[in-house]
Structures are given as C-alpha cells and as structure tokens.
C-alpha cells in the first residue's frame, strides 16, 4: 500500500496589516505549513468555513467583522478548530471574550512571531 | 478713448498669465512622470526588502549581508517600510530590526534631522526615533516640547514616551497639556507610551497632591474644566485626572488605597476619573460604599458609579440602581440597566418588572437591556 | 461723451474687477491651502495612526446614513461603512419612509431583526416605527420611520445614536476605510473642534466593489468632468484654504462629523431648509459663541468621500438651484454673523465673501455679460481694450483651475492615467469659457427662486436624498 504524502497543514492568517500578515505567513511557510491569508473579517470567515484548515491565527481588529464575530460564527460550524487570537494589550475584554468563545490561546501586540509559532505548534500538537 | 500704454500693459499681463499657466501644466506633467517612476521603484524596492528582511529575521541572512543590500537607500522609504513592523514586533525580533536600522544608518540620519531639519523633518524624525525606541536624542526632544508648534510638541512627546525615559514623564505631561490643545484621551494615549514604570512616580505625585486638594463643596468647578480655554498654564484638575487615568490604564492596583483616600476629598471631575480607574482595574476598594455616588448630583458621577457597581455586586444598592432606571440622563439609565443585567437573577427580575412600569423611560431602557441579553 | 457711455464703461470695469477679485481671492485660498497642506504633512508624518486603531483611547462614533428610496445604492454604502477601520462604531441607517424596497433590501442583505432599542428624543423628529439590528453585523442598526425629509431623518439618527461623535454620510456615498481614524485623530488632538468635514470626489464611472472604490476612472461624461475640476477648485482647495485661516463655513453633507452634544445644543438640523448641512454649521458656531465656548470647524483634506454627481444637464441644474437656495437660507438664517468681529475670520471674511461673491455674485455676473455684449455691439467702448481685459479675467480663472489641478497632482494623484490629466486641463480651460457662465445663470435662477417664488415644499418634500439624473449603477 502506498502511503499518501503528508499534505502541509493549512493555517488561516487573518490580519489586516499586510506587513504583519506577510511576516506571519512567511514564518509559517518556513515551518512547513501552508498559509492562507485574509485581510478582513468577511474574507476570513469565508476561508474558515470553506477550506480545510487546521488552525486560525485571528486578529481581533479587522474591517467588516472583527475577530470575535468571526470566532463566534466559526465555532458554530467547526467547534474544535484551534484559534489563536491576536490583539492589543489594552483590549482585555476582547481577549477574555475570545477565550470564552473557545480560543485556544492569545497573544498581545507587540509580540514576537517566534512565540506565536511555538504556541501554534503546541496547540496543534494537542489536537 | 484709452491710450496705448494701457493696452500694452494688458498684453504683457496676458502673456505672463499664459506663461504661468503653461508652466503649471509643465510642472504637473513632470511631477506625474517623476512620481510614477518613483512609485514603481518604491514598489520594487519594498518587495526586495521584504524578502531580505523576512529572511534576516528568520536567521537565514546575516546582518552584514542584509544591511549591505539596504544601505544607501532613501531614508524615508526605509522608514515607511519598517514602520508597521516596528509598531507590532517585540522582543528579539524588534531588537534585530532596530540593529538593522542602525546598521543601515537610519538612526543617525534621523538624529541629524531632529537637530537640523525643518518642521516636517523634525516631526518625522521624532516619530522615527520614537518608534525605534532610541534614548539618544532625549535632550533634543525636550527642547521641542517647548516649541510653539503643537505638532512638534506632540511629535516630541510621542518620541519621549516611546524612548522609555521615565524621568522625562512629568515634563512631557506638562508640555502636552500646556502647549497643545489635546483632549484628555489624546494626551493619555501618548503618555501611556512611557509604559507602566511611570506608575510609582504618579502615585508619589498624587500622594503629595492629596494633601492639597480642597474638600468637596469648596472650589467646585461647576463648569467642567475641559471647557475653559487653556492658556499655557496647566489646569491642576486636568493634570490630576490624566495621572489617575494612567494608573487605571496600567491597572496599577497598588494605588487603590491612595485613590480611595483621594476620593473622599475629590471634586466632580476627579471623582469621575477615579471611578473610571476602578473600572479599568476591575476592582473597587473593599469598603467603598458606592451608594452616595450613585445618587450624586452630577450625571457623570452617577454614570460611572453604576459601571463601577458591576464590580462589587453589592445587593444593597439594587434598589438605588432601580431608581436610576428613571434617571433623566440616558447614559445613566443605560448603565444602570447594564448593571442590573450583570447582577444575575435578581437584576434580571428587576428589569422584567420595570418593562411594565408606568415610567416610560424606565420601561424602555429595561426592554432594551433585556434585548441585549438575547444576542 | 454721453452719461450713458460713462456709466456703461464704469459698470464694465466694475464687473471686470469683480471677476478679477473673485478669481484672485480663490487663488489666494489655493495658495493658503498649499501652505496649510504642507504644514499638515508634518502632522501626518508624525501621526501614529495604527496605534489609534488599536488603542482604547478612541471615542465611539455613530455613522448616520439617511435614506429615502435608495434601494439601488444603500447596500453598497452600508458595506462601505462596515468596512471602516475603527475600534468602536455603529452604523445607523435611517429609512425615511421609503416607497421602494430600501428596507426590504436591507432586511435581506443584512439579516435584520427588530429589537427594543431605547433612545432619548433629544431633538424632535417624526415617528419612529421600528428599530432593527443585523444578526450578521452587530454594529449595524436600521431605523424605520415616518417620512420627514432628510433633516428629520438625520435628527432621528442623532436621537438613536448616543455616542459622543456622529458622522453623517449620504446614502450614495462611499468613504475610505481609514477616514474615521483620521477624523477622530483630529478631534482627539484638539478639544475645541466641534465639526469637521472631508473631501468629496466624484465616483461616477469608478469601479466599485464591496463598498470600496477600487479603480479611479475619469468619467467620460461631459458634465461630470466639469464638476471634477470644480470640486477640486472650490470644495477641496477652496475649503482647505478657508479652514487653514479659521474661516470655514460649509461642510459637505455628504461626509461630515460633529460632536453630538454641540448639535443637540444647537437644536439639530433645521427642517425648513435645503441647505441643512451648511445651516447647521453656522448655527453651531453661533451657539458656541453664545455659550462662550471656544470652537473650531475644520476641513480634512485627507479622508475622502466618493459620491455620485449629477451626470445630466437637468440634474446638475436642479442641484445648483437647490444649493443656491440653501446658501440663501443658511446665510439669512444666521445673519448676525455678518461682519461681526465676534465670529472672527468667519464673520469678517468668509460670510461677506459668500454673501457678495457666492450668493449675489450671479447678479453681477449675468448683468455684467449683458452689459458687456451691449457695449461691444453698440461700439460705445473701444473693443480691443475691453476684450483684452476680459481675456485677462478669463486667464486668471484658468490659472486658478490649473493650480487646483496641480495641487491635486501633488497631493493626491488620484487619476492614474496621464491622458486624464490632459483632459482635465482641457476642461479647466473650458470651465472658464462656458461652464462658469452657465453656472452663474443657474445660480441666478436659484436666487430669483429664493426671493420671489414661494417654496412649494415643506418638511414633507418627497425628495430623494440623491440627485435626480444620477447614475444609479456603476461600471464593474
């Protein structure tokens, strides 16, 4: 029996800052993942629902739909999808809400992308 | 009727005007050409730089290699490229970026600009040096704080805040309030850039000040201090309020006893800010009885104490909150309803009862609060 | 020489000096705008805008969109508003008793449900039937009310909104995503500001996707091209110039932001005027003055609002009639500001300017042309001189329009194709030879309307909030 070659895991990077989005995607690809990018909430939701992704990295402040809304809607369809939420330190309420909604982890900006990748791998490892 | 010299002058004027128009057209065309060339160049460069930079961050390229390929480029373009990353990165990635910027001469360039540039140059320089968290140009920036141009004062204040030199905090705060027209929130936002290390200083300052506060009833400003024009003298209440806001923003709970003491003698404005600080810290001092504040004569105090009440859950105040559902100010009603909504079963019951009340305002706000629970 | 001849000569010269004067003042405004925009650059370069978006120090804001019979454009506008980058804001679409499917379209697209939203009736307005919220976009609210006109719809929106700032957008306008950040930044940096307005540009034939202008095209329509040049000259740099010297009197209703408290204090929008935005701005200033509060009204050259301008002769004419009447109503409704030093630059410079040049101007212009033609044909005046003088006045006008184009090139560079700039330059010339005269005639008619005709509408005017003859669709 021929074993199928392992497909790289797809990770959705939902972040409206194009530079940061590119940075995270770059690091993910270096670690062997495939990064799908979205620059606003609507696009993020679409990709999250339609594609076979293994995890989401989700910025809270995005146009159209913020990260919380996206998370809410994704949870109803895919309750076990791991999500790491990014936000600013001062918006604690958002982070708490995200955790209540089942976000696996969070990081506050400014942050170190390395740590983000580490946490992502931990979260994926747990699944 | 009219002699030739007039005709001549008019002809000359016509010629001059036509020439100017043609010149403007020429400038437009040249400007467009140059800019589109520039834009293309910029786009190409930033794509290159992005590749270099990301690889450098990841460790695949050395500092020397990366710097070698980036130096000599237009400083402003480099700054625009790095700016979004500098705002968002922390730790070793930030340091690596800063080292790279230093290596390619960006920091030196802007240090010189700060010293010798025109207004636009200085403002940009202050911003750049702030984003890079440079501590070296502090004295320059302190000078800029005294500038007549509020834009420069702001840029310098930002730069100083991000440099992390907390010893310049009070000077910056005073300049920001005295030399610009900033609102509380605007000023607090910039000062928050200093980081939470300023909290002990602020606490010490407020301790000293608490001895000097007039008791409530004396020296009341009926007109909110924000409304009176600032004339380069810093209004004491404004200053104090911003200090308190910062303590709240950094959730400096060590200051809770101090704030409780200040509250006893505070005027309306200061009271509001102290309550806001409690709300931000998510903690109200244990022995504080909010009832008197819920019934305060200023709506702002009633409003924020209703919000602060959510942190105490003191059942005894429920009837007072219920009364506030009929308050004449909309925000007070709204926050009283929110407070009840957060109070679990007893709160929700009160809201339910009130939807059928004779008082239109109370009924309406109760229904609204209940509808928010349905989302 | 007969007295007739002397009178005619002097009148001709007076008119020509008038033209030189108005062009000269506008030119001065453009220069001031240029200097002000340079100064603005330093503010921009030092601004940390992304920070504001991420910070908690924002002031929450309501975006109010009044709509009457806008089923074709309302969804696009709502999407444009939803796409705004701002930490906390709500969108309040006010359906002013539309006869078409405006409400239905909104219900379907945004999955609306009724809810028990409370509000305080700070400003009297006609009956509000229901308030809806969107299940998909929690910050979208739709107010369904009895028809009462645009001002009434705005007042209703203000009542329902409770945030300290509100932004008024026309139902066929699209705003740049970063506009709110830039505006609120201004409010945060200067506590005196009570009102601010942004730049308006013509979106006709631009590519629009998801509420954003993705491709800026120069409209091929004849009348639109004139308006583009005109908007640059008068609305962009004219207003920027006034703003920088502290004399801004008008904000465009298509995109303006106010402190809610100030507007409520002033009593909201007036129902009996067609120039409700301008009238409000003037009245707010008077109220602030009366309460001895310092205030500022500013223009932001940066945030851009895209709107559909009239494409037909009739549409444009109707609009300009209306503007002239609105101008009259606003000016005369706030006459105490005229040459009143208490109102600073606004009272001493802007108001008289608008009164004599913008409002009464058409009278001088029209009579001027008539007298001029009469003088030439009857040979009373030496033709070469007077013709040359006229030429100079027109050249000055062309210079003005061209400098506006140059400024647009330096600061915005919106039109990507070189061909577009050349075409606009052509229209800048044409504008002074043809369009301005026509425009003067329309404004003259508007003026007559104001003084002599009874206004047939009141608060129940069933007027769409957008211009007749505007393109309802877009090129995609």
B375 and A CB contact within 8 Å: no
Does residue A78 lie within any of the structural domains? yes
Q: What's the CATH number where A105 sits?
A: 3.40.50.2300
* Residue C45, φ and ψ in degrees, nearest 5: -65, -25
Question: Is the per-residue pLDDT at C469 higher than 60?
Answer: no
The shortest C-alpha distance from A4 to chain B (Å) reads 30
User: Within its chain, how far is the Cα of C157 from the centroid?
Assistant: 20
Of residues B54, B88, B92, nearest to A109 (C-beta):
B88
Range of the domain at A59: 10-122
Across residues C342-355, what is the average pLDDT?
Answer: 90
CB contact under 8 A, A61 and C53: yes
Query: Which of B371, B373, B375 to mutate to probe the C interface, most C CBs <10 Å?
Result: B371
**At what angle are helices B75-88 and B4-58 packed, to 10 degrees?**
50
pLDDT in tens, C58-115: 789 999 999 999 888 889 889 888 888 887 899 999 999 999 999 999 999 999 999 8
Compute the Cα dihedral for C274, C280, C283, C287 and give only its sign: positive
Does residue C338 lie within any of the structural domains? yes
Least confident of A92-101, B316-325, C265-274: A92-101
Of residues C55, C137, C138, nearest to A90 (C-beta):
C55
Question: Is the per-residue pLDDT at C201 higher than 70?
Answer: yes
**DSSP-assigned letters across all residues of C367-421:** HHHHHHHHHHHHT-S-HHHHHHHHHHHHHHHHHHHHHHHHHHHHHT-----HHHH
Of residues B87, B89, B249, nearest to A90 (C-beta):
B249
pLDDT in tens, C435-449: 888 999 999 988 888
CB contact under 8 A, A20 and B58: no
Compute the Cα dihedral for C144, C149, C150, C153 and give only its sign: negative
C396 and B CB contact within 8 Å: yes
Does residue C272 lie within any of the structural domains? yes
Residues of B in contact with C41 (CB under 8 A): 120
pLDDT number for residue C455: 54
Total domains in the fold of chain C:
1
Which residue on chain C is closest to A87 by alpha carbon? C54
Range of the domain at C319: 58-219+250-351
Of residues A18, A90, A112, nearest to B92 (C-beta):
A112
Residues in chain B with pLDDT < 50?
A: 1, 215-231
What are the structure tokens assigned to C181, written together?
Answer: 């950040």
Query: Which of B88, B98, B375 to mutate to probe the A interface, most A CBs <10 Å?
Result: B88
pLDDT number for residue C155: 96
Percent with pLDDT over 70 in chain C: 92
The shortest C-alpha distance from B187 to chain C (Å) reads 8
Does residue C40 lie within any of the structural domains? no
Please, what's the largest Cα pairwise distance for chain C? 82
Rounded CA gap, A51 and A11, in Å? 10
What confidence tier does C432 reach under pLDDT thresholds 50, 70, 90?
A: confident
CB contact under 8 A, C116 and B331: no
Rounded CA gap, B109 and B82, in Å? 15
Of residues C87, C138, C177, nearest to A69 (C-beta):
C138
A66 and C CB contact within 8 Å: no
0.95 surpassed by complex ipTM: no
pLDDT number for residue C265: 93
Query: Which of C54, C111, C139, C174 to mutate to probe the A interface, most A CBs <10 Å?
Result: C54
Residues of A in contact with C84 (CB under 8 A): 63
Q: What's the CATH number where C175 sits?
A: 3.90.550.10
pLDDT number for residue B213: 55
The shortest C-alpha distance from C266 to chain B (Å) reads 17
Question: Is the per-residue pLDDT at C372 higher than 90?
Answer: no
Does residue A127 lie within any of the structural domains? no
Does residue C321 lie within any of the structural domains? yes
* Residue C197, φ and ψ in degrees, nearest 5: -130, 155
pLDDT number for residue B375: 60
pLDDT number for residue B357: 79
Rounded CA gap, B280 and C26, in Å? 51
Residues of C in contact with B152 (CB under 8 A): 42
pLDDT number for residue B337: 93
CB contact under 8 A, A63 and C138: no
Across residues C16-42, what is the average pLDDT?
Answer: 84
Burial pattern C146-181, b for ≥16 Cβ within 10 A else e, equals ebbbbbbbbbbbbbbbbbebbbbbbbbbbbbbbbbb
Nearest Cα to C313, choosing from C444, C442, C472, C126? C442
Strand-pairing partners, residue C199, are: C304
pLDDT number for residue B228: 42
**For B211, which DSSP code?**
T
What are the structure tokens assigned to C40, written together?
Answer: 């603005």
pLDDT in tens, A21-44: 999 999 999 999 999 999 988 899
Nearest Cα to C20, choosing from C389, C393, C403? C393
Total domains in the fold of chain A:
1
């Amino acid at each position: 029996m021929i074993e199928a070659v392992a497909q790289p895991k797809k990770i959705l990077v939902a972040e409206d800052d194009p530079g940061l989005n590119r940075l995270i995607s770059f690091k993910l690809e270096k670690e062997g993942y495939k990064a799908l990018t979205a620059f606003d909430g609507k696009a993020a939701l679409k990709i999250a629902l339609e594609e076979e992704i293994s995890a989401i990295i989700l910025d809270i402040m995005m146009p159209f739909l913020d990260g919380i809304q996206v998370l809410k809607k994704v949870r109803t369809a895919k309750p076990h999808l791991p999500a790491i939420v990014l936000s600013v330190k001062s918006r604690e309420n958002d982070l708490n809400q995200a955790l209540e909604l089942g976000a696996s982890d969070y990081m506050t900006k400014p942050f170190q992308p390395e740590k983000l990748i580490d946490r992502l791998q931990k979260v994926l490892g747990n699944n | 009727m009219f002699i030739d010299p007039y005709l001549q002058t008019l002809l000359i004027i016509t010629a001059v005007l036509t020439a100017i128009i043609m010149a403007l057209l020429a400038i437009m065309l040249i400007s467009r050409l140059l800019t589109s060339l520039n834009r293309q160049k910029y786009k190409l460069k930033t794509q290159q730089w992005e590749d270099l930079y990301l690889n450098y961050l990841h460790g695949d390229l050395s500092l020397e290699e990366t710097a070698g390929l980036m130096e000599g480029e237009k400083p402003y373009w480099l700054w625009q490229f790095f700016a979004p990353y500098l705002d968002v990165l922390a730790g070793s990635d930030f340091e690596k970026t800063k080292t790279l910027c230093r290596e390619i001469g960006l920091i030196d360039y802007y240090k010189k600009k700060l010293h010798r540039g025109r207004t636009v140059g200085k403002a940009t320089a202050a911003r750049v040096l702030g984003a890079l968290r440079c501590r070296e140009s502090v004295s320059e920036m302190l000078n800029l704080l005294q500038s007549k141009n509020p834009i420069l004062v702001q840029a310098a204040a930002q730069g100083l805040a991000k440099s992390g030199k907390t010893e310049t905090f009070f000077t910056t705060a005073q300049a920001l309030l005295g030399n610009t027209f900033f609102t509380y929130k605007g000023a607090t936002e910039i000062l928050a850039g200093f980081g939470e290390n300023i909290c002990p200083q602020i606490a010490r300052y407020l301790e000293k000040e608490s001895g000097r506060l007039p008791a409530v009833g004396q020296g009341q400003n009926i007109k909110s201090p924000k409304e009176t024009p600032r004339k380069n003298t810093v209004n004491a209440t404004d200053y104090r309020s911003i200090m308190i806001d910062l303590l709240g923003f950094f959730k400096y709970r060590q200051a809770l006893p101090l704030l409780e003491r200040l509250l006893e003698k505070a005027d309306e404005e200061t009271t509001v800010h102290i309550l806001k600080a409690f709300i931000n810290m998510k903690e109200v001092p244990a022995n504080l009885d909010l009832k008197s504040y819920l019934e305060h004569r200023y709506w702002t105090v009633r409003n924020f104490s209703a919000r602060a009440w959510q942190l105490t859950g003191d059942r005894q105040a429920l009837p007072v909150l219920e009364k506030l559902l009929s308050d004449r100010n909309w925000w007070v009603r709204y926050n009283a309803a929110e407070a009840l909504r957060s109070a679990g079963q007893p709160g929700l019951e009160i809201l339910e009862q009130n939807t059928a009340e004779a008082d239109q305002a109370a009924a309406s706000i109760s229904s609204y609060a209940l509808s928010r629970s349905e989302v | 020489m007969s007295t007739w001849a002397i009178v005619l000569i002097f009148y001709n010269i007076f008119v020509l000096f008038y033209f030189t004067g108005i062009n000269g003042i506008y030119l001065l405004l453009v220069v001031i705008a240029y200097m002000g925009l340079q100064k603005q650059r330093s503010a921009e370069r030092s601004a940390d805008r992304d920070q504001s978006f991420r910070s908690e120090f924002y002031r929450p804001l309501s975006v109010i969109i009044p709509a009457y019979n806008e089923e074709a454009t309302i969804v696009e506008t709502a999407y444009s508003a939803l796409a705004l980058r701002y930490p906390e804001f709500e969108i309040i679409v006010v359906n002013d008793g539309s006869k078409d499917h405006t409400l239905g379209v909104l219900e379907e697209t945004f999955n609306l449900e009724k809810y028990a939203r409370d509000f305080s009736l700070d400003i009297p307005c006609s009956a509000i039937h229901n308030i809806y919220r969107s299940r998909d976009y929690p910050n979208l609210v739709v107010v369904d009310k009895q028809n009462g006109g645009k001002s009434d719809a705005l007042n209703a929106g203000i009542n329902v909104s409770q945030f300290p700032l509100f932004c008024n957008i026309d139902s066929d306008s699209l705003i740049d995503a970063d506009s709110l950040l830039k505006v609120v930044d201004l409010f945060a940096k200067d506590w005196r500001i009570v009102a601010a307005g942004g730049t308006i540009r013509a979106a006709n034939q631009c590519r629009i996707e998801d509420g954003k202008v993705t491709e800026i095209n120069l409209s091929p329509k004849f009348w639109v091209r004139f308006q583009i040049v005109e908007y640059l000259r008068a609305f962009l740099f004219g207003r920027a110039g006034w703003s920088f010297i502290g004399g801004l009197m008008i904000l465009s209703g298509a995109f303006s932001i106010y402190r809610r408290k100030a507007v409520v204090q002033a009593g909201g929008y007036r129902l009996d005027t067609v120039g409700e935005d301008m009238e409000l701005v003037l009245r707010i200033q008077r109220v602030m003055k009366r309460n001895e509060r310092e205030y500022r009204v500013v223009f932001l050259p940066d945030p851009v609002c895209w709107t559909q301008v009239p494409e037909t002769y009739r549409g444009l004419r109707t609009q300009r009639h209306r503007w002239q009447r609105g101008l009259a109503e606003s000016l005369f409704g706030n006459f105490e500001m005229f040459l009143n030093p208490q109102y600073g630059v606004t009272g001493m410079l802007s108001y008289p300017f608008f009164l004599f040049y913008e409002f009464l101007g058409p009278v001088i212009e029209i009579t001027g042309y008539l007298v001029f033609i009469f003088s030439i044909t009857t040979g009373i005046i030496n033709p070469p001189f007077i013709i040359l003088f006229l030429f100079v006045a027109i050249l000055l006008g062309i210079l003005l329009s061209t400098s506006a184009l140059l400024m647009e090139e330096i600061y915005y560079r919106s039109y990507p194709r070189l061909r577009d700039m050349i075409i606009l330059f052509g229209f800048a010339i044409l504008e002074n030879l043809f369009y301005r005269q026509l425009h003067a005639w329309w404004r003259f008619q508007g003026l007559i309307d104001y003084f002599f005709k009874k206004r047939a509408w009141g608060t129940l005017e069933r007027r769409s909030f957008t211009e007749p003859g505007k393109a309802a669709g877009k090129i995609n």
